[in-house]
Structure 1
Amino acid sequence: MSDPLVSRPANRDQASDRFFSAYDQLIHDTINYHHVPAVSVAVIDGDSTWLKAYGMAQVADELVQAEKVNTETLFNAGSMTKVFISAAISLLVDDDSFPEVQWSTPVSQLLRDDFVLSDSHATQVVTIEDILSHRSGLADQDDAFMGVHAKKPDTLKSVTRKLRYLPLAVPPRTKFLYCNAMYAVATYLIETLTNMPIRDFLRQRIWTPLGMKNTYFGLDDVIEHQLLNKVAKGYGWDNDKSSCFEVDHPRQPEAAGAGEMITTTGDYALFLRCMLQRTGPISAAGHEELVKPRMITDQDPNPFWSHQLYSMGLEIENYHGEQVIGHTGSTTGFACQMVFLPRKNWGFVIMGNTHVDVMGKTKIRWTLIDDLLEVPASKRFDWNAYAARLEKELEAATIEDLYPNLPDSRLPLTVPLTDYTGSYWHAGYEELTVDLESGRLEVDASDRCWRFKLLLEHISGQYFVAKKVDIDTREEDLLKAEFRIDSSGSVGQLGIAFVADSKDEIIWFDKIDS
C-alpha cells in the first residue's frame, strides 16, 4: 500500500526511492513529532542526486483542500541565501572591472556616504569579509527596520544608512555577532556597483549557469513568474490547540540578502554540487575564500565536534575528523538546512514549511551523516535528549531573570499611567507609540521587518517588563523596559532592551509629544 504522505510523481525516480527507503520511517516519525507539515530532501552522493518529498505543502482546513508536497515545491531558503551573496561578491572580486573590490576592502570606501557606523574607527576598518563573517561588531537589530507594512518601508539603502544610529556591541573582529543587517549592506553594495537588482545579478551570473531554473528572489519574483501556486504554505504550531496555523509568506525586501531566496531542494543541490566540485561560475580562488574560516562562533561544541567556525555565509566544523560545511535558514513559516562534506563528495539539503522545527531537521541531517561515516552507535550524539534539554534552556525569560534584585516591597508608579502614553523617537529605530488599552500600556510595531506588539507590565518604580508578541508566529519573549522622568516631573524617555548581545542592551527613545 502506498504512503499518502510521500510525493509520488508519475515519473518518480526509482533510484531515489531505493535510497530513501532506509530513511522513510525516520523522516515520517521526525516530522510528525516536530509538527512539520512537509519536508523536501535532496542528497548528493558522488555523481548521483536523490530527491524525495514528504507531507503536505498545504494543510486541509474548512476552506482549502490538502495538497501534497513534491520535489518541485518551492520553499523559502531563509539565511541559506547568505552564501549566494558571498558568492556574488566573489565574482566581483575576480572581475577586473571592479579592481577596488577585494575581501579586505573597507566597505566605507565603496559606499562612502551610506556606510557609516556609530564608531568612526569601525567605519574606517570594517571590510567586506567582516560584514559577511558577522564580525563587524554590530549585533542583530532587526527590530530597527521598517517592513513592507510601514507607511515608509525601509530599503537596502535606508537600512545601510541607519547603521550610524545603532550602537556597536563590541569592537570589530573581537566577537561573532550574527547580523542580518550586514547582508543587506552587502546586497546594497552589489546593486550599487553593478547597477543591477540582486535577483537579476544572481540569475544571470549564478543560477542560470548552474541550471537553477526553479529559484527566485522574493515573493514578488515568484508572482511575476506566475508560480505562486508552487510555493508551500508556511505554518506555525499552536500548542494549546495541538494544531498548525497558516502564516503569511514573509516579504522582507529591506533585508534582501539576509534571506528572501525561494527555491527547491533540487535547485539548491545544484549549488552544493558546484561547491563540492569547485566548478564555475565561481573561480578556484572564490571557492577557496568562501570556505576559509574567519571567526569562531559562540556555539558550544557537542561531543565528537570541534568548535564551530564561520566563513562568509557558511559554518565550518569537524565531526569525527571529517570537515563538515553548511548553514541553516529560518524565517516565518519555513526552516531549512544544508550541509556538504568535501572529502566525501556528499551533500544534503532539507526544506520544510514551518519555522518551529529546527531539531527535527538536525536529527535527520546528522543521522544521514553518521551512516555515511559509519559512526558506531556508541559514538553517535543523542539528538532526542539534546532537543529536550535545549527546549528547556530556550524557555522565555521570567521576570525574575530580568530583574533578579527586585525589592520585597515594589515601588509604585511616579506618574499616572496615562502620562506614559504618546510617541517616542530614536533615529535608528524611528517612532514607537505607546497606547493605553484596557488599563495596560501597549506598543503596536506591526510596521517592522518582523511584526510584533509590546505589552508592558509595571514591575517597580519606572521599571517594566515588555512582553514581545510576534504577530505572525505568535511566539512570545520578555524584554526589560524602563521609563525616565525628567527634571520637570514629566516622562522623558522610554528604554527597551532590543539588543540582546550587548552590555548596552537598552535602546532609548525620546518622548516627542504628550
Structure 2
Amino acid sequence: MRTIQLLRAVGVAAALTVNDEAPNGQKPMGEAIAHGVGAALRPQDPFTDEFLAFAEDIMEQWKVLGMSIAVVDGDEVFAKGFGLATLPEAPATPGTPATPETLYYVGSTAKAQTAATLAQLIDSKAYPEVSLGWKTPISSIIRDDFILQDEWATNHITLEDAASHRTGLPRHDNSWHETRNGNASTVQDTVRNLRNLPLGVEPRVEWHYCNLMYVMLSYVIETLTGRWLGDVLRDTIWKPLGMDTTYLNLQEARRGPAHLASAYIWREGEKTYEKLQYPPARVMGGAGGIISNVLDYAKWIQCLINESEPFSQAVHKDIRTPRMISDAEPSLTSDVQLYGLAWTRTTIHGEVAYWHDGSTLTFGAEVYWFPNLKYGIVAFANGALGSNPAEQVLVHRLLEDRLSVPASQRADLNKSLKEKSAKSRHDIQNMENILFPNRPKKPLPPTLSPSELLGSYYDEGYGTVTFFEEPHPEKQGETLLVANRTELLWSQQWRLQHVSGDFWAVQNKLLFCRMNVPLEFFAGEFKFGVDGKVAAFEADFGSRPGQISEGRILFKKVK
C-alpha cells in the first residue's frame, strides 16, 4: 500500500501547455477567443499546487491509480498526467507515469463520434439511403437485420430515435455476446439479436439508454459506406483533426507510439492493485470501443466548441440540438438534462454545458464542454469502478475554479458519490430484503432440490445459462447454484441464493476482465411442467432497484 502511494507521488507527470512555446512544437488548437462568465481573464494553468494535492487525495479515496486530464480554455490547452499508467513489472523497477499522451479506453464517449460521423454522411448528400436525414427509418437501410418485437417500431424507428435513446428498448447489456456457440459475434449478429429483446416502453415515450442501438448505428455506417467503422472515423474525424493516436482496434493501439495504460482494480482484502485484462474493442465498436488520449480528445472538443471543420454549420447544429428529456429533475450539480447526438445538454452554475461519460468498467472517461465559455475538460483514468466518480469530482473542481465559484455555492459532489457507492454495496448485502420484502419468516422448501435444477436453460435473446453446484462459501455442507456466463461481453457469474419456495435471489458477479466483483442483483424463479420436472428459469430484470426494467426473461430448460 505504501509502495503504491510512493509510486503515485513519483509518477505525477509534468503539465503540458499546448501553445507556441510548447517543447514538442505543437501549435494552438483552434483560434477561438474566450468569452462569457469569467472568460475575460487570461487562461491560466489550472493545475495549481492546491489542485494537485486535491487530485491526489481524490484518486486515493477512489483507488484510481492513474489519470490524465486536458483543459481547453479559449485557444490554449493545458494537459497533465497523474499517478501511474502502469505499475512496475518488478519491485525494483519504476512504473510508467500517466501523461497527457497516455492512451485509455474512452467508453461511451465514443458514441458522440459515431453520431457525428453519421451526421456528416447525411450532410454530404452522397448516400440516397439517408435522404430523409435523421428522420430516415432504420429498417429502410438494413431491412433484413433490423427487426424489433413490435411491428410499428420496426417500421418507424428512425436514426434520430436510436441516437437519442428514445426507441423504447432498454439496455439489455446482459444479452450482448462476445461469442456464441464458440464463434466470435459480429456487429451484424448483435443487430440481428435485437428482434429477440423485449421493448421496455412504447417508442418516443421515455428516454432509455441503450448501448446496443449504437452498435446498430455503427452497422448502419458500415452498410452505407461499405467500410469498417474505424476507417470511416479516421477519415471523417481523426485525420482532419490531427487525432493521430486514436484507434478502434486494440492491436493498433498497442503498436502505436503512445503507451496504453493498464487497468487496475483495488483489492481491499489484500491492500493491493490487481491488473485487469483489456476489453474487446472490436465488440464494443462505435458504442464504446475507441482508444485515445486527452490531447487528441482536446482537439475533438475544440472542434465542437469552435464549430470548425471538418464539420459544416449544419452538422454542428445537429450535434448541439437536443432530442429528448433524459432527466426532468435537476441534480446536485446541474439543471434538467436533455439528450441529443450522444451529448447531454444542461446548465451548470448557469453555463450551458454538453457532457458525456464513458466506462468500460475497467477504464473511465468524462468529457465536458461549455460553448459560451469556450472551455472544456477531458479526463481519462484506469481505475476499475472508481474512475468516473473521481473524474466527476475533479472536473467539477476545475470548472468551479475557472468560474471562481464561492465555496458556499459548491456542492459536495464527492460526499454524494460516496453515499451512492455505499448504498450500492449495502443493497447487494441486503438483496433478499429488497427483492422479497414479504417473504415468510420460515422459508418454504423448493419444489426440487438444487441438484435437480442443474443443467442448461436457453433464451434466444440472452443465450444459454448453465447451472452447476459449488460449495457455499459461508455455510458448511451447503451448496450454491451458480452459472458462468463467459460468452457475454460483460462476462459474469450468476450466484443463486434460495429465498422461499421456488424463488431465488440472484447476485450478478462481474467476471469481465477478471474483475470478480458483485455488479447487481435480481429476482429469479424456477418454473415446472405438469410432469413435475423443471421447465424454465425466469430472470426478473424488472426487480432490480434503480434501473429501467428489461422485463422478465424466460430461459427454457434444454438439457
Calculate the TM-score normalised by the size of structure 2: 0.87
1:463 aligns with 2:469: no
RMSD: 2.3
Tell me how far apart the structure 2 counterparts of residues 504 and 365 of structure 1 sit (CA, whole Å).
Answer: 32
Partner of 2:63: 35
- Of the candidates 201, 214, 238, which is equivalent to residue 170 of structure 1? 201
Residue 255 of structure 1 deviates from its aligned partner by 2.8
Partner of 2:48: 21
Tell me how far apart the structure 2 counterparts of residues 189 and 352 of structure 1 sit (CA, whole Å).
Answer: 30
> Relative to 1, partners in 2 of residues 1:441 and 1:77: Cα closer, same or farther, differing over 3 Å?
same
Partner of 2:449: 416
Residues 347-395 of structure 1: per-residue CA shift (max 9 Å, x gap): 1101111132222211111111112222222211112321232223333
Partner of 2:12: 6
Residue 111 of structure 1 deviates from its aligned partner by 0.8
Identical-pair percentage: 30
Higher mean Cα deviation, 501-510 or 429-438?
501-510
Partner of 2:250: 219
Partner of 2:523: 480
1:512 aligns with 2:558: yes
> Relative to 1, partners in 2 of residues 1:222 and 1:304: Cα closer, same or farther, differing over 3 Å?
closer
1:378 is aligned with what amino acid? S
1:241 aligns with 2:270: yes
Partner of 1:105: 136
2:137 is aligned with what amino acid? P
Residues 429-487 of structure 1: per-residue CA shift (max 9 Å, x gap): 12111122333211110111101111112111111111211113222132211110111
Tell me how far apart the structure 2 counterparts of residues 12 and 331 of structure 1 sit (CA, whole Å).
Answer: 33
Tell me how far apart the structure 1 counterparts of residues 517 and 557 of structure 2 sit (CA, whole Å).
Answer: 28
What are structure 1's unaligned runs of at least 5 residues? Answer: none
Residue 84 of structure 1 deviates from its aligned partner by 0.3
Partner of 1:437: 470
> Relative to 1, partners in 2 of residues 1:384 and 1:371: Cα closer, same or farther, differing over 3 Å?
same
Higher mean Cα deviation, 200-209 or 386-395?
386-395
- Of the candidates 526, 534, 538, which is equivalent to residue 495 of structure 1? 538
Counterparts of 1:29-178 in structure 2 under 5 Å?
29-60=57-88, 62=90, 65-101=94-130, 102-147=133-178, 151-178=182-209
Residues 402-452 of structure 1: per-residue CA shift (max 9 Å, x gap): 111101221111123222111111111121111223332111101111011
- Of the candidates 453, 477, 494, which is equivalent to residue 454 of structure 1? 494
1:350 aligns with 2:379: yes
> Relative to 1, partners in 2 of residues 1:508 and 1:100: Cα closer, same or farther, differing over 3 Å?
same
Higher mean Cα deviation, 2-11 or 64-73?
2-11
Tell me how far apart the structure 2 counterparts of residues 238 and 19 of structure 1 sit (CA, whole Å).
Answer: 32
Residue 237 of structure 1 deviates from its aligned partner by 1.6
Residue 91 of structure 1 deviates from its aligned partner by 1.0
Tell me how far apart the structure 2 counterparts of residues 340 and 441 of structure 1 sit (CA, whole Å).
Answer: 48
Partner of 2:398: 368
Contact kept, 8 Å, 2:456 with 2:464, in 1: the verdict is yes
Contact kept, 8 Å, 2:539 with 2:553, in 1: the verdict is yes
Contact kept, 8 Å, 1:148 with 1:252, in 2: the verdict is no
Tell me how far apart the structure 2 counterparts of residues 219 and 405 of structure 1 sit (CA, whole Å).
Answer: 49
Residue 165 of structure 1 deviates from its aligned partner by 0.7
Task: Determine helix, strand or coil for the equivalent of 1:217.
Answer: coil
> Relative to 1, partners in 2 of residues 1:310 and 1:433: Cα closer, same or farther, differing over 3 Å?
same
Tell me how far apart the structure 1 counterparts of residues 52 and 496 of structure 2 sit (CA, whole Å).
Answer: 47
Residues 247-296 of structure 1: per-residue CA shift (max 9 Å, x gap): 10101423311101000100000000000000111211111111111111
Contact kept, 8 Å, 2:527 with 2:535, in 1: the verdict is yes
Contact kept, 8 Å, 2:170 with 2:550, in 1: the verdict is no
Tell me how far apart the structure 1 counterparts of residues 550 and 110 of structure 2 sit (CA, whole Å).
Answer: 30
Partner of 2:288: 259
Task: Determine helix, strand or coil for the equivalent of 2:10.
Answer: coil
2:47 is aligned with what amino acid? F
Task: Determine helix, strand or coil for the equivalent of 1:449.
Answer: coil
Contact kept, 8 Å, 2:105 with 2:291, in 1: the verdict is yes
Residue 18 of structure 1 deviates from its aligned partner by 4.7
Residue 9 of structure 1 deviates from its aligned partner by 8.8
2:396 is aligned with what amino acid? W
- Of the candidates 218, 224, 235, which is equivalent to residue 187 of structure 1? 218
1:430 is aligned with what amino acid? G
Residues 165-205 of structure 1: per-residue CA shift (max 9 Å, x gap): 10000011111111100000000000011001000001111
Residues 41-93 of structure 1: per-residue CA shift (max 9 Å, x gap): 10111111111111111123657752212221111101110000001101111
Tell me how far apart the structure 2 counterparts of residues 409 and 73 of structure 1 sit (CA, whole Å).
Answer: 56
What are structure 2's unaligned runs of at least 5 residues? Answer: 1-7, 17-21, 29-42, 472-478
Tell me how far apart the structure 2 counterparts of residues 8 and 293 of structure 1 sit (CA, whole Å).
Answer: 38
Partner of 2:34: none
Calculate the TM-score normalised by the size of structure 1: 0.94
